[in-house]
Amino acid sequence: MSHLQQSFTVQFVYNVFFTEKLFDTTNSLFADFFHQQATSATQKKLLFVIDSGVVETHPGLVAEIKAYFTQHADVVDLASDFLIIPGGEIAKNNPVFVEKIVDAVDTYGIDRHSYVAAIGGGSVLDMVGYAAAISHRGIRHIRIPTTVLSQNDSGVGVKNGVNYKGKKNFLGTFVPPIAVFNDSTFLTTLDDRDWRAGISEAIKVALIKDKAFFEWVETNAHALAARDMDAMQYLIHRCAQMHLQHISGGDPFEMGSSRPLDFGHWSAHKLEQLTNFELRHGEAVAIGIALDSIYSQQLGWLTDADTNRILTTLRTLGFSLYQPMLDADNSAGVLKGLSEFREHLGGQLTIMLLKDIGLGVEVHEMDATLVRQAIATLREHELSTTV
Amino acid sequence: MSHLQQSFTVQFVYNVFFTEKLFDTTNSLFADFFHQQATSATQKKLLFVIDSGVVETHPGLVAEIKAYFTQHADVVDLASDFLIIPGGEIAKNNPVFVEKIVDAVDTYGIDRHSYVAAIGGGSVLDMVGYAAAISHRGIRHIRIPTTVLSQNDSGVGVKNGVNYKGKKNFLGTFVPPIAVFNDSTFLTTLDDRDWRAGISEAIKVALIKDKAFFEWVETNAHALAARDMDAMQYLIHRCAQMHLQHISGGDPFEMGSSRPLDFGHWSAHKLEQLTNFELRHGEAVAIGIALDSIYSQQLGWLTDADTNRILTTLRTLGFSLYQPMLDADNSAGVLKGLSEFREHLGGQLTIMLLKDIGLGVEVHEMDATLVRQAIATLREHELSTTV
Ligand SMILES: NC(=O)c1ccc[n+]([C@@H]2O[C@H](COP(=O)([O-])OP(=O)(O)OC[C@H]3O[C@@H](n4cnc5c(N)ncnc54)[C@H](O)[C@@H]3O)[C@@H](O)[C@H]2O)c1
Ligand SMILES: NC(=O)c1ccc[n+]([C@@H]2O[C@H](COP(=O)([O-])OP(=O)(O)OC[C@H]3O[C@@H](n4cnc5c(N)ncnc54)[C@H](O)[C@@H]3O)[C@@H](O)[C@H]2O)c1
Ligand SMILES: [Zn+2]
Ligand SMILES: [Zn+2]
């Protein structure tokens, strides 16, 4: 009996750019990226996949992109068609869309050194990233996130995925993008729900890692709710930065026991599913944050004052913190989220709770009675504030 | 306009073990592996997927594995069912098998820290590796290759994949296994075609990298053809080692311009497809090696004597070096393999040719007339040797 040991490291590098009007012909950022990537060997191709919600609210976008690449024709060969994919969770629920992209990769001869660029919310980005990752064992993938959540969280990280038979993110891979372009112009057309939803991911990282950032959000909650773009750009930049640091500072592909930034997420994933994805991911996370903050309070870890600051900030932003699916009679449903969460992450159950604002601490079990009690508290709160 | 730069490295480590009678209760290698992997946190699960060709020739295997884990019950929780998948290329052609594995991952609650072990030839291993790679963004995958080709080449590397609408390996990922167990006992039941087929991958690496190894194969060709197990074990060990070194010494996930070990493969892939996978991968590679050796000879790179040594060695091993699909009238077919090969690898066309035995050199184009001429030479050779 003998063995050969294999050992190697792979380096991954990519930039997250912050810009406005990415496809304005006077903005050379995107063209410069392709110039820098160019090798003498071959002309690369570029296939665009766009979220239908973006196309509807930016009806000139496709023409703008075409004009951009007429101006910068030398940098890359634009595929003649643009794929438009329905925005929202449906993009991840229906396997036909992954197939559509894989087929386009074949039709347009997109090879491993060519590009698939996705413009859209986190759902379309997750799905396109997955399709690109499995085609030819991985095509270069550019993300152009158009929602708050995708610009500050999902779009800057290393995960992609689709749902499978109703199971959230059951299929997916860890594959970094080749570049991310955060264009704030897209955010102006978001409806209020999507503008708001992504803010919960910033609150999530702030609560477990950065008290000062939480206090900034608390102070700017009214401005954010009133759609102040400067405040939003600061929030996105800081949140994206914290996500990137968490990834590079830890275990990027989550191979060991290290954890993703998922405070408030165990119940959020389940709530999304229980509401048939009626609830946005970020909206569900806001409820999950509220729930696990109250649970932390019940453990005596978080003071009443701090718990209230969290709930108040979420409410000021316009989040609704109670959802009928949380209801006691259905709480077996939400509690099932605990075991599903463990299973998806693998290994032991690990839940992040709060010892203080800015200080997350991991636990390995949650008490069902206490969870039900936290849900009840949330329900009371909501009834009293909405009366 | 600002940007954040993300940069990180990920380390991958795995062992390729060489053993006999892996599931004999007195062989503790497999159990030891799980012991070493164990963490206090949770008991891990293990799901087996087995090639039908292996089950048929080793009818006691499932019972043996069950007995093994009765003896070593503490190391891992064995899933109650074993999935049996038809062996051969059909495993990669029919998408239903990937789905079967993904469903089993769900049914048996196999999480990211649990294991899917595949026992079989390269086809089943490629398919199971892919299914494991996309489930929960990657489940730990153990490979137990049972053919010569999978023990010395496909099973020890970092690639997996399935065919899509007849396109070879169109879907796949780069994901290393967590361990590989090469058990020579399995090789005794291979039919002659499969025993032989894998030898061509050893000749491939030898021809481009290691003259001494080629000469060893040349000297031992009769013994190998007569199914001498000691010779085969040496061949597999050396070939696996060279593959592992190529991967770790270069660009493991082929993100840059570095190349896989694919001498003789551009026409081989096409021939497999043109013959509806009637031809084994290794058989097609033997033809591809012969073709590109003659092409190298025609360029004046390889001497007539060396070219003959290569062809003679392949023939002594029992390979048939001509296939009707190579025929002039269909040569548009094989030549199309050049552009498909470029597309699958991405970037520029790069073909490995021989300047000498043990010395591969890359070129970026092949002349269609010369290729046709090489095919004609191969046809003549074959007619004259079989008369
Ligand atoms: N990969 C990760 O690491 C990760 C992390 C967090 C969340 N996610 C996933 O992200 C998804 C949620 O993404 P999301 O919150 O961005 O929502 P979304 O992608 O579901 O989009 C919500 C809606 O906004 C529309 N839209 C998108 N951009 C728009 C714009 N600029 N103007 C107007 N409308 C626009 C869409 O068409 C859709 O109808 C979930 O599937 C979640 O699981 C992934
Ligand atoms: N991933 C990679 O890097 C890589 C590299 C080279 C080849 N491949 C792929 O590997 C596949 C070919 O694999 P292969 O040559 O191992 O053949 P195979 O897996 O197609 O198996 C050939 C036949 O042998 C049977 N079989 C397997 N083990 C047996 C045993 N011990 N006794 C009796 N019968 C047995 C199978 O049931 C099948 O009928 C191709 O799809 C090829 O593309 C992958
Ligand atoms: Zn989230
Ligand atoms: Zn091969």
Q: Which CATH number is B114's domain given?
A: 3.40.50.1970
Beta bridge partners of A126: none
Residue B5 has a CB neighbour count (10 Å cut-off) of 10
Residue A332 has pLDDT above 80, yes or no: no
User: A49 with A101: CB under 8 angstroms?
Assistant: yes
Structural domains of chain A, count = 2
Residue B253 has a CB neighbour count (10 Å cut-off) of 22
The answer, as to whether pTM is greater than 0.80, is: yes
CA dihedral sign of residues A24, A25, A26, A27? positive
Q: How confident is the model at residue A326 (pLDDT cuts 50, 70, 90)?
A: confident
Query: How many residues in chain B?
Result: 387
Boundary of a domain, candidates B142, B158, B189: B189
A329 vs B169: which has the higher pLDDT = B169
Q: HSE, CB side, 13 Å, CA atoms: give it for residue B321.
A: 31
pLDDT per residue as tens digits for the range A58-95: 999 999 999 999 999 888 999 999 999 999 999 999 99
Domain ranges, residue B255: 211-386
Task: Confirm whether B7 is domain-assigned.
Answer: no
Is the C-beta atom of A126 inside 6 A of ligand 1?
yes
For the question of an ipTM over 0.90, the answer is yes
Q: Show pLDDT as tens, one digit a residue, over chain B (387 residues).
A: 699 999 999 999 999 999 999 999 999 999 999 999 887 667 789 999 999 999 999 999 999 999 999 999 888 999 999 999 999 999 999 999 999 999 999 999 998 889 999 999 999 999 999 999 999 999 999 999 999 999 999 999 999 999 998 888 999 999 999 999 999 999 999 999 999 999 999 999 999 999 999 999 999 999 999 999 999 999 999 999 999 999 999 889 988 876 788 999 999 989 998 898 899 999 999 999 999 999 999 999 999 999 999 999 999 999 999 998 888 566 568 888 888 888 777 778 899 999 999 999 999 999 999 999 999 999 998 777 654
Residues A180 and A289 in one domain: no
Beta bridge partners of B352: B362
The label of the residue with tokens 């025993």 reads B195
> What is the CATH classification number for the domain harbouring B234?
1.20.1090.10
Residues A257 and A332 in one domain: yes
Boundary of a domain, candidates B189, B223, B238: B189
Residue A387's pLDDT is 46
Contact list in A for residue B348 (CB cut-off 8 A) is: 41-42
Please judge whether A348 and B41 are an interchain contact, meaning their C-beta atoms are less than 8 angstroms apart.
Answer: yes
Amino acid (1-letter code) at residue A240: A
Residues B146 and B274 in one domain: no
Residues A166 and A275 in one domain: no
Residue among B23, B24, B53 at smallest CA distance from B190: B53
B330 vs A292: which has the higher pLDDT = A292
Indicate which residue's Cα is closest to atom 19 of ligand 1: A121
Least CB-CB distance to B348: which of A42, A114, A342? Answer: A42
Residue B344's pLDDT is 72
Task: Confirm whether B279 is domain-assigned.
Answer: yes
Q: Name the minimum distance, in Å, from the CA of A5 to any CA of chain B.
A: 4
Residue A385's pLDDT is 67
Residues B167 and B134 in one domain: yes
Task: Confirm whether B9 is domain-assigned.
Answer: no
Residues A157 and A256 in one domain: no
Boundary of a domain, candidates A189, A222, A238: A189
Amino acid (1-letter code) at residue A48: F
User: B208 with B354: CB under 8 angstroms?
Assistant: yes
Indicate which residue's Cα is closest to atom 6 of ligand 1: A154
Residues A218 and A176 in one domain: no
Residue among B292, B268, B291 at smallest CA distance from B280: B268
Q: Which ligand is closest to the CA of A281, given by its number?
A: 1
Helix, strand, or coil (residue A2): strand
Residue A381 has a CB neighbour count (10 Å cut-off) of 17
E strand segments, chain A: 2-19, 45-51, 77-78, 83-85, 115-120, 140-145, 162-164, 167-171, 179-183, 351-356, 359-363
Residues A216 and A184 in one domain: no
Contact list in A for residue B10 (CB cut-off 8 A) is: 9-10, 12, 252-253, 255
B249 vs A234: which has the higher pLDDT = A234
Whole-number Cα distances in Å, A382 to A284, A322, B63: 15, 6, 58
Taking the centre of ligand 4 as the mean of its atom positions, its distance from the CA of residue A113, in whole angstroms, is: 22
Helix, strand, or coil (residue A141): strand
Beta bridge partners of A362: A352
Is the C-beta atom of A177 inside 6 A of ligand 1?
no
d(CA B112, CA B108): 12
| Average of per-residue pLDDT across A238-262 | 90
Residue A386 has pLDDT above 60, yes or no: no
Across all residues in chain A, what is the average pLDDT? 93
Report the Cα A153 to chain-centroid distance in Å: 4
Is the C-beta atom of B183 inside 6 A of ligand 2?
no
Mutation site, B5, B6, B7, B345, interface A, largest A CB count within 10 A: B6
Q: Which ligand is closest to the CA of A157, given by its number?
A: 1
Residue B41's pLDDT is 66
Residue among B150, B158, B364 at smallest CA distance from B254: B158
Least CB-CB distance to A346: which of B4, B5, B113? Answer: B113
Residue B329's pLDDT is 60
Residue among A331, A310, A317 at smallest CA distance from A381: A310
pLDDT per residue as tens digits for the range A341-364: 887 777 788 999 999 999 999 999
Task: Confirm whether A9 is domain-assigned.
Answer: no
| Average of per-residue pLDDT across A280-290 | 97
Contact list in B for residue A39 (CB cut-off 8 A) is: 257, 347
d(CA A329, CA B223): 73
Residue A329's pLDDT is 60
Nearest Cα residue in chain B from A15: B5
Phi/psi region, residue A84 (left: phi>0; alpha: psi -120 to 50; beta: rest), is: beta
Least CB-CB distance to B252: which of A10, A173, A254? Answer: A10
Task: Confirm whether B221 is domain-assigned.
Answer: yes
Task: Confirm whether A106 is domain-assigned.
Answer: yes
Query: How many residues in chain A?
Result: 387
Residue A227 has pLDDT above 80, yes or no: yes
Report the Cα A246 to chain-centroid distance in Å: 14
Task: Confirm whether B333 is domain-assigned.
Answer: yes
Phi, psi of A287 (to 5 degrees): -65, -45
Q: What 3 state SS string does chain B have?
A: CEEEEEEEEEEEEEEEEEECCCCCCCCCHHHHHHHHHCCCCCCCEEEEEEEHHHHHHCCCHHHHHHHHHHHCCCCCEECCCCEEECCCCHHHHCCHHHHHHHHHHHHCCCCCCCEEEEEECHHHHHHHHHHHHHECCCCEEEEEECCHHHHHCHHHCCECCEEECCEEEEECCECCCCEEEEEHHHHHHCCHHHHHHCHHHHHHHHHHHCHHHHHHHHHHHHHHHCCCHHHHHHHHHHHHHHHHHHHHHCCCCCCCCCCCCCCCHHHHHHHHHHCCCCCCHHHHHHHHHHHHHHHHHHCCCCCHHHHHHHHHHHHHCCCCCCCHHHCHHHHHHHHHHHHHHHHHHCCCCCEEEEEECCEEEEECCCCHHHHHHHHHHHHHHHHHHHC
Residues B180 and B41 in one domain: yes
Residues B169 and B252 in one domain: no
d(CA B383, CA B39): 62
What does the DSSP assignment read for A198-265?
Answer: THHHHHHHHHHH-HHHHHHHHHTHHHHHTT-HHHHHHHHHHHHHHHHHHHHHS-TT--SS---S-TTH
**Longest Cα–Cα distance in chain A:** 74
Report the Cα B127 to chain-centroid distance in Å: 12
Whole-number Cα distances in Å, B90 to A269, B151, B197, B207: 37, 20, 17, 30
Residues B360 and B243 in one domain: yes
d(CA B50, CA B69): 16
Phi/psi region, residue A135 (left: phi>0; alpha: psi -120 to 50; beta: rest), is: beta
pLDDT per residue as tens digits for the range A120-163: 999 999 999 999 999 999 999 999 999 999 999 999 999 999 99
Residue B387's pLDDT is 45
Residue A229 has pLDDT above 90, yes or no: yes
Task: Confirm whether A6 is domain-assigned.
Answer: no
From first CA to last CA, the distance across chain A in angstroms is 74
Residues B178 and B224 in one domain: no
Residue A150's pLDDT is 98
